[in-house]
Structure 1
Amino acid sequence: MYRLGRYRTLLTTLLVMIGGTILCAASAGHFAGQRALAGESAQVQRQLQLHAQGLQQRIDRFGTLPQVMALDPDLSTALRTPPDAAGRQRLNLKLARANQVTRTSTLTLVGRDGVAVAASNWAEPSSNVGEDYSYRPYYLQAMANGHGRFYGIGMTTGVPGYFLSHAINDAAGRPLGVIVIKIELSALEQEWLASPDIVLASDNHDVVFLANQDAWRYRLLRDLGRPERNEMAASRQYADRSLQPLRARTERVLEDGGRIVHMADPALPRPVLWQTIDLPEEDWHLHLLHDAGAAGTVARSAAIGAGAAWLALGFLVLFVQQRRRLAAHRQRSRRELETLLKQHAQELRTAQDGLLEAAQDADSGLSRSLEHLPQGVVIIDGQQRLVAWNSRYLELFRFPPGLVQVGRPIEEIFRFNARRGLLGPGPIDEAIERRLNHLRSGRPHMRESEKDDGTVLEIRGNPLPDGGFVTSYADITSYKNAARELRSLADALEHRVAERTRDLDDARREAEQANRYKTRFVASAVHDLLQPLNAARMFVSVLRGKLVDAEQQQTVDHIEAALSAQDAILASLLDISRLESGSLSTRVRAFNLGPLLETLAREFGIAAEGRGLQLHWVPTTAVVVSDEALLRRILQNFLSNALRYTQRGRVLLGCRRDGARLWIQVHDQGPGIPESLHREIFEEFRRLHDGQERGAGLGLAIVERIGRLLGHPIQVRSTLGSGSLFEVAVPLGSPTDVVLPEPSPDHVVETTADGPLRSRRVWAIDDDPHVVAATRALLERWACDVQLADGPLAALQAAAADAVPELVLLDVRMGEFDGPTLYERLCGHWQARPPVILVTAERDDALKAYAQENGWGFLSKPVRPPALRALMTQLLLRHHR
């Protein structure tokens, strides 16, 4: 009966667990699936709206073009009076030029009789000129109502398109003919290819004429009646295309009008969510088929989660009940254990009494009560004579027969063991006396002893109430061996850990050394690359002054633009190298953000206007704590990317407060960035689109490293088709902490007059012969007296007190020569200190600061000739004063 009741309880528990799991899983799966499907349907509707807007905008772009063309007097004249061959040719050329400007497919002028008078494709084999289009609906609509619209396949070209027509009337309002434009929508289908869904467009006959997959084009969404088929045949709307029916089965209709459809032809492996939107102006319908499997996945996940939660709850209840039963069982076991301990204590006292009795009454020495013990045991009385022992004691010490007897003094046993070396080194009598004294003292003891054969014994001694002593000998050899092995293993492990630590330290040092080598290599490579680039820019500047032809000047502009782009790439590579090596110094301080944003808006506003864009910015009075130069670099990259990838619209620069931080944001209306690529765009040489101009792909990589260096978080948010938002967070500061920048030195702008530089004695010292030649040519173009343009050795040989230049252009790194050190040696020869400009490819802030402290000029290669000219003029005027 008890077992039957137990099984009944177990069965009930299992039924509750399984039934509850199934019910929870079904309910949660149904609810989550419904909710996920509703969310998917709403998302599909929004996506369909975007596609509809894109299609309508493409059509509206050309909607007014037929009306404008209909007002052209040349077209109406050609329709009133048939033109001759020359007039027809002029008319064809005019339509061809208009077609190039508007970027339509074709422009066709059709007469009152329906025959094409002129066309933009007159020179092509598939020319429309002379073809009869009187049966086309767009012609009939325009002649009857003044305008018409029709989508079909071109009978001459065989290319499908959307035809927009408008009647050309005479002064009395009678139609003379029709102007027709054809728009090809194949580009729109190419844009739809980026969508993972199936996008379709159908006409008023429910014929699919646009699709992002070929298998869906020219499909019938319903059966057509005979009048509809006759109408399409008369207009030859789809020419000889075979219109196949689309076979589908609707499994379910949603509340918002969407349908769950299983496609049979074209076949799809899983059901799809079908949403439709009407385009009433064109009498079209736009459809989007989205995979409905995601909702099923959500439902399954929710069902699994709900079932797991019910099981977890059930197991928790069972666990609590089990804990209660275990607690009651422990209480019962504790009571039983206490009773058992009392019984064992009584038995132990009885056994001890038996042991003492056996020790006192033993006559043979071998006590049966000691035989069950695993240790060797020996008992002596108060006179230190043997009383009892067990066979294990005899096995451990291998005594000869007759030695161990009742009544034999223990001293004789000790002496026997001493002769075998079991009492350790030293005098035997002292060892024996020491052990006898310990037995007489009656103190318990415990020690370990190792025999010659490697056996380790644990010896424990305890006094007896009558003055005797009981000693046990336990063999702990295996335990000691295991302990020694563990210690050996631990030592080996520590040794191995130490070796691995040394290996890791060596690897870290090698990696750091490789990183330093890489940094030095990048800096050296960029320096060597900047040398010929600097010479090229100077030669271009000289060449610009010798050319007068506008086309040649434009070619020079292109060359200089290419050199500037190369300069930007090299500078970016050097910046990345300095950021990775940690050699880029920072100057973090509190400053007003408003002037920086105003400067950036003014600079990039000009570039935006040149691209046909608008740059808006929101003024701010915020004070931030950052490195102003590096923060400017971050925002410059944000704005440059925004202008590069925005085709039309505007770019917005503004700020948003967030507690103690300020987010500086740049919004654009570009194509957007997929969320899966948000991290990849911060990698070197990563470009998602080419934009209006091609970049090097280093800007955002530099932004990410500068943000990491300054501790400024960088974030990006983007919506495909709507634009992107890049932002950087900087700490807010107090206006009282703002330190005004030091006044800049006098700035001399470049002037076209050669007066300040004419006949000035200038030395140009550089170890690159191309740079020397370019510098000489540029300075001589400015009418300077170039007394020396050579390397450091030639400069040392030519330096003298009577040949002091008025200005020195000096490179910094010239093989074994250092620019500032060379200048000091030259000053010793000159007995004077003429002004000097350091012209170097070294991007070293410390070197720039050193030049400023000494009142020297400083320019980074490649040098812009206007900047060099302005700085030379400034130094000469300052030195003259």
Structure 2
Amino acid sequence: MYRVSRYRPLLLTLLVMVGGTLLAGLVAGRYAQQRALAAESTQVRRQLDLYAQTLQQRIDRFGTLPQVMALDPDLQQALRLPLDDAERHRLNLKLQQANNVTRASTLTLIDRHGVAVAASNWDQPTTNVGEDYSYRPYFQQAMEKGSGRFYGIGMTTAVPGYFLSQAIHDTDGSVLGVIAIKIELRALEQEWLQSPDIVMASDAHDVVFLSNHDDWRYRLLRPLAPAERREMLATRQYADRSLQPLRSRTLNLLEDGGRMVRLEQPSLPRPVLWQTYVLIDPHWKLHLLHDAGASAAVGRSTALAAGGIWLALCFLTLFVQQRRRLASHRQRSRLELEAVLQQHAQELRTAQDGILQAAQQADSGLARSLAHLPQGVVVIDSEQRLVAWNARYLELFRFPPDLIQVGRPIADAFRFNARRGLLGPGPIEEAIERRLNHLRSGRPHMRESEKDDGTVLEIRGNPLPDGGFVTSYADITAYKNTARELRSLADALEHRVAERTRDLDEARREAERANRYKSRFVASAVHDLLQPLNAARMFVSVLRGKLSGDARELSEHVDAALAAQDSILNSLLDISRLESGTLQTHVHAFALSPLLETLAREFGIAAQSRGLQLDWVDTRAVVISDEALLRRILQNFLSNALRYTPRGRVLIGCRRVGDQLRIEVHDQGPGIPESLQGEIFEEFRRLDDGVDQERGAGLGLAIVERIGRLLGHRISLRSTLGQGSVFAVTVALGDAAAIPAPAPAPVAPVDAGDDSPLRQCRVWSIDDDPRVCAATRALLERWGCVVELADGPQAALEIASTFNVPQLLLLDVRMGQWHGPDLYEHLCELWQARPPVILVTAERDDALKAHAAENGWGFLSKPVRPPALRALMTQLLVRHRA
């Protein structure tokens, strides 16, 4: 029974440590796995959104083409009357030329009976001409509703594609026929191959028709109803393809709509995360199957870390308890030692009195009075001869019995100790003489001496009135050992603190490296996204100039959507530059009034379009800041104020606060709850009560917060629910005398209408993106330019010579192995001339912009606004001719 009770605390401690380790690992691992899985699901959702945007953009790129071609008089005339061979050949060539420009798969003209009368692939073995397409849904939809859309496998080409159709009407409103365009989407599958995940697209019947893995294509996500099978057989949507079921089992559902599934056919070794994105038009679904093994690894690592932390805490607790017990024990020992020392001191004082008597009565045998003392004591007379001693003195130095005798010189005892090394290094006689001289001097002394066996003695000496000397030897070894242990503990704690400091420094450096990597990744990703966006905006600009009415309004909506995407990408790039510290600032004194007036004029038009009133209060204040970055802060304030104010007015003004100025933007919106006022300055945080069609990406206030931190400006917010909000930025006041005099404004060239410098101007456009080249060529030719080259850097180097020097060069900067300014120098050597050049780039590099300004080059950032490009081209040509 005694043994069980003795080991019970140890068993309980082991149980708490092992049980706590398992429980902490289980809870922390499961929590970390769920968090990691949620983060992966969010990342997969964003990736799926990008795939959906890419698919939607590819379809929208050709969305208006059938409508435009349906207005072609040649196509209408071809459907009114029978065609002879010459007219049919001319019509085929026209469709072929249009198809080469638009880069679609095929263009097909179908009469009201469903028979193809002309097609862009008229010269191919698998031509559509003469084929009956009356059973195809896109033909039937166009005949009934005016337009149609359908995805299926081509019956003549056996190539799958997405068909867009538009009815062609006669002047009396009757339907003459249908123009159909086929878009091949197989290029998307090639892009998806770069992803390690499985990407699929399914139609309204839940049939997978696109995938980056062949085994997953033409799979059924659910059983088909009999009516659906009959419809697919009638339309021959997937021809003779065999549709196999895709069997899966859902393991659990996530909060954002994702789910963990086990794939049985086709089979996968591990469960995967399945996310689905629903496209509204067309009614398709995009699916992404992501291997979630990383989240399980995170869970396992976190479980091990949590278990290790729990064990470390347990050991730390045991260590602290042990330290407390040891400290308590040392405290008790110290108190006991102090009590013993006090007792010894008292005894020593008593002994000294006895020693004096013993010294005077040594011949009477009174030395026995020293026997009770704990210290070793020896008494000598004025001639350094032994008078009295006690047993403790003999015990400490282990003298032989015949050495210590009354009347014997103390030098003999010193010599005996010196031969044993107790008097230290050096000649023996010199050490003895030093001690004898000290005794003769009659001065009291106290010192410590350590023997070979580790014993530490405290030696105290005091003179006697008659010229003798008494010396006591106290053993203080235990006290010295305790002091050494305390010093060792202090050294160990200092070493542990130094180790923890090094670990924290390494963790900080790792976090800084991760932050730099993230910033470089965002900057690179935004650069790559701006390339196709630049081409899209140029195509839209060309298309808008050729359309009118509803079609022109539709193109303006597309341009507005692209502008919104441009704003989001630029915001992401600004955040990346702010976080990486590459954004340069130019802080100086400037008058605030022109900036407020410009903002009021720009945002006043937007306010009127929303039925709001924008007021501003003029000021004569001079502030010290970066004018461009301060303008960016106020633009975001005004944009948010207009977005979240359904009715009423918005006011921008300023207040003096000591030697600073607070610029405020007041709105009459719904207000912001106090619990959300700190979160709205984070990325992708936005309120849900703004105007639906004006919802931003949630980056504006995050950029404001970072710019304010960079410039040292305080950003503040006051808001009352139901009454509105006040956003403010506080800047330092400056001196008007510090403002430099404004430079004279350059005289703008006069545009002489048809005599514009762009007309018949020979232009080269060099870019490594074929879409940008095609869009630039179309835009420049619309302005009357002669585009001699719109291709990549290698093609430019191959044809450049002194006989084809362009009058103007549009040049990208980052083109694979080529850097734009370096390529320009190579071309100038081949041309033996230096034509004016405009750098058109997605790089947001202030150093590059400054380099262009020093050389007199133009500089535009992608995506390019066509009016800005045209103005800069005109300015460079006029200046070059002058």
State the TM-score bracket (shorter-chain normalisation). 0.5 to 0.7
User: For residues 146-545 of structure 1, what are the structure 2 equivalents within 5 Å?
Assistant: 354-363=354-363, 367=367, 370-371=370-371, 373-545=373-545
Q: How does 1:731-810 map to 2 (within 5 A)?
A: 731-743=732-744, 745=746, 747=748, 755-810=756-811
The SS at the match of 1:382 is coil
Partner of 2:626: 627
2 CA distance for matches of 1:554 and 1:782? 21
TM-score (norm: length of structure 1): 0.58
- CA distance, structure 2, for counterparts of residue 585 and residue 372 of structure 1: 87
Q: C-alpha displacement at 1:843, in angstroms?
A: 1.3
Q: CA deviation at 1:401?
A: 3.5
Note the C-alpha offset of 1:752: 7.6
Give per-residue Cα distances to partners, 1:391-411, cap 9 Å, x unaligned.
332332233444333222212
Inter-CA distance 390–744: structure 2 relative to 1 (3 Å threshold): farther
Give a deviation string over 1:565-613, Cα, whole Å, max 9, x none. Answer: 1111111111111112222111111111111111111111111110011
* CA positional deviation for 1:757: 1.3
Q: Distance in 2 between matches of 1:414 and 1:547?
A: 121
Cα distance in 1 for partners of 2:346, 2:506 equals: 68
Distance in 2 (CA, whole Å) between partners of 1:750 and 1:726 is: 43
For the structure 1 residues 364 and 781, does the alpha-carbon distance in structure 2 shift closer, same or farther, using more than 3 Å as the test?
A: farther
Relative to structure 1, the CA distance from residue 346 to residue 479 in structure 2 (aligned partners, 3 Å threshold; closer, same or farther) is closer
Unaligned runs of 5+ in 2: 1-344
Aligned residue number for residue 865 of structure 2: 864
> C-alpha distance in 2, partners of 1:876/1:485?
87
Show the counterpart of 1:708: 709
Residues 510 and 347 of structure 1: CA distance in aligned 2, closer, same or farther (over 3 Å): closer
Given that 1:375 and 1:475 are in contact with CA atoms closer than 8 Å, whether structure 2 keeps it comes out as yes
Q: 1:367 to 1:860 in 2, by over 3 A?
A: farther
Report the equivalent of 1:312. none
1:791 maps to a residue whose letter is G
The residue identity in structure 1 corresponding to 2:561 is: A
**SS of equivalent residue, structure 1 residue 772:** helix
Provide, for residues 647-669 of structure 1, a one-character-per-residue CA deviation record: whole Å limited to 9, x for no partner. 11111111111211111111111
Q: Tell me which amino acid in the other structure corresponds to 2:709.
A: R
After superposition, the C-alpha distances for 1:420-468 in whole angstroms (9 at most, x for unaligned) are: 3323344444433343333334344443322221112222333333322
Task: Provide the rounded CA distance (Å) in 2 between the counterparts of 1:364 and 1:560.
Answer: 125
Structure 1 residue 811 and structure 2 residue 812: aligned? Answer: yes
CA distance, structure 2, for counterparts of residue 373 and residue 580 of structure 1: 78
Report the secondary structure of 1:625's partner residue: strand
Whole-Å Cα distance in 1 between the matches of residues 364 and 500 of structure 2?
Answer: 64
Q: Contact (CA 8 Å) 1:364, 1:406: kept in 2 or not? A: no
Compute the displacement of 1:486 (Å). 3.1
Asked if 2 retains the 8 angstrom alpha-carbon contact of 1:462 and 1:469, the reply is yes
Distance 1:520 1:661, change over 3 A: same
Q: Is 1:386–1:410's contact at 8 Å kept on the other side of the alignment?
A: yes
Letter paired with 1:847: L
Contact 1:367 / 1:388 at 8 angstroms: preserved in 2? yes
Letter aligned with residue 409 of structure 1: P
Deviations 1:51-85 (A, max 9, x none): xxxxxxxxxxxxxxxxxxxxxxxxxxxxxxxxxxx
- In structure 2, what is the equivalent of residue 828 of structure 1? 829
- 3-state SS of the aligned residue for 1:843? coil
How many Å separate the matches in 2 of 1:749 and 1:770?
Answer: 33
Q: 1:685 to 1:748 in 2, by over 3 A?
A: farther
**Distance in 1 between residues matched to 2:346 and 2:448, nearest whole Å:** 32
Q: 1:355 to 1:704 in 2, by over 3 A?
A: same
Where 1:780 maps in the other structure, the secondary structure is helix
- Alpha-carbon distance between aligned partners in 1 of 2:395 and 2:348, rounded to the nearest angstrom: 27
Q: Which amino acid aligns with 2:724?
A: G
Alignment partner, residue 585 of structure 2: 586
**CA–CA separation in structure 2 for the residues paired with 1:749 and 1:524:** 40
| 1:661 aligned partner | 660
Query: Aligned partners of 2:786, 2:377: CA distance in 1, in Å?
Result: 116
Alignment of 1:570-719 (within 5 A): 570-692=569-691, 693-719=694-720
Q: What residue in structure 2 maps to residue 843 of structure 1?
A: 844
C-alpha distance in 2, partners of 1:347/1:426? Answer: 36
Aligned partner of 1:678: which letter? Q
Q: Quick one: structure 1 residues 430 and 562, their matched pair in 2 at CA, closer, same or farther if it must change by over 3 Å?
A: same
Change (3 A) 1:371 1:775: farther
Q: Residues 648, 544 of structure 1: CA spacing in aligned structure 2 closer, same or farther, 3 A cutoff?
A: same
On the 8 A contact 1:839/1:858 being kept in 2, the answer is yes
| Deviation, structure 1 residue 471 | 1.9
Aligned length: 536
Q: CA, structure 1 residues 669+754, in 2 after alignment: closer, same or farther (shift >3 Å)?
A: farther
Q: Distance in 1 between matches of 2:392 and 2:479?
A: 19
Q: CA separation in 1, counterparts of 2:751 and 2:461?
A: 107
Provide the C-alpha distance between the structure 1 equivalents of 2:347 and 2:473, rounded to a whole number of angstroms.
24
Q: Is the 8 A contact 1:537 1:560 kept in 2?
A: yes
Task: Give the drift of 1:880.
Answer: 0.6
User: Higher Cα Rg: structure 1 or 2?
Assistant: 1
> How far apart in 1 are the matches of 2:752 and 2:863?
21
Name the SS of the counterpart of 1:681 in structure 2.
coil
Change (3 A) 1:816 1:467: farther
Change (3 A) 1:348 1:740: same
Distance 1:705 1:371, change over 3 A: farther
In 1, Cα distance between equivalents of 2:751 and 2:563:
20
Deviation at 1:353, TM superposition (A): 5.2
Identity %: 79
Residue 373 of structure 1, CA deviation? 4.5
TM-score by length of 2: 0.58
Distance change (3 Å), C-alpha of 1:368 and 1:812: farther
Shift of 1:762: 1.3
Q: Which residue of 2 aligns with 1:726?
A: 727
- Cα distance in 2 for partners of 1:480, 1:348 equals 21
Gaps of 5+ in 1: 1-344
Separation of aligned partners in 2, 1:747 and 1:466: 119
What's the offset of the Cα at 1:470?
2.0
Once the two structures are TM-superposed, the CA of residue 853 in structure 1 deviates from its matched residue by: 1.7
Matches within 5 A, 1:548-559: 548=548, 550-559=549-558
* CA distance in 1: counterparts of 2:843 and 2:749, whole angstroms: 24
C-alpha distance after superposition, 1:480-524 (max 9, x if no partner) = 323333333333333333333332332222222222222211111
In 1: Cα distance, 2:627 partner to 2:752 partner? 30
AA aligned opposite 1:577 = S
- Deviation of 1:743 after TM superposition, in Å, equals 4.4
Alpha-carbon distance between aligned partners in 1 of 2:750 and 2:366, rounded to the nearest angstrom: 120
Write out per-residue CA displacement over residues 279-315 of structure 1, whole angstroms, 9 at most, x where no aligned residue.
xxxxxxxxxxxxxxxxxxxxxxxxxxxxxxxxxxxxx
Does the CA contact (< 8 Å) of 1:366 and 1:391 recur in 2? no
Does the 8 Å CA contact 1:807/1:836 hold for their aligned counterparts?
A: yes
**Alpha-carbon shift at residue 355 of structure 1 (Å):** 3.5
> What is the identity, as a one-letter code, of the residue corresponding to 1:650?
R
User: Shift of the alpha carbon at 1:673?
Assistant: 0.7
Instruction: Tell me the CA shift for residue 722 of structure 1.
Output: 0.9
Kept after mapping to 1: 8 A contact 2:810/2:837: yes
The amino acid across from 2:662 in the alignment is W
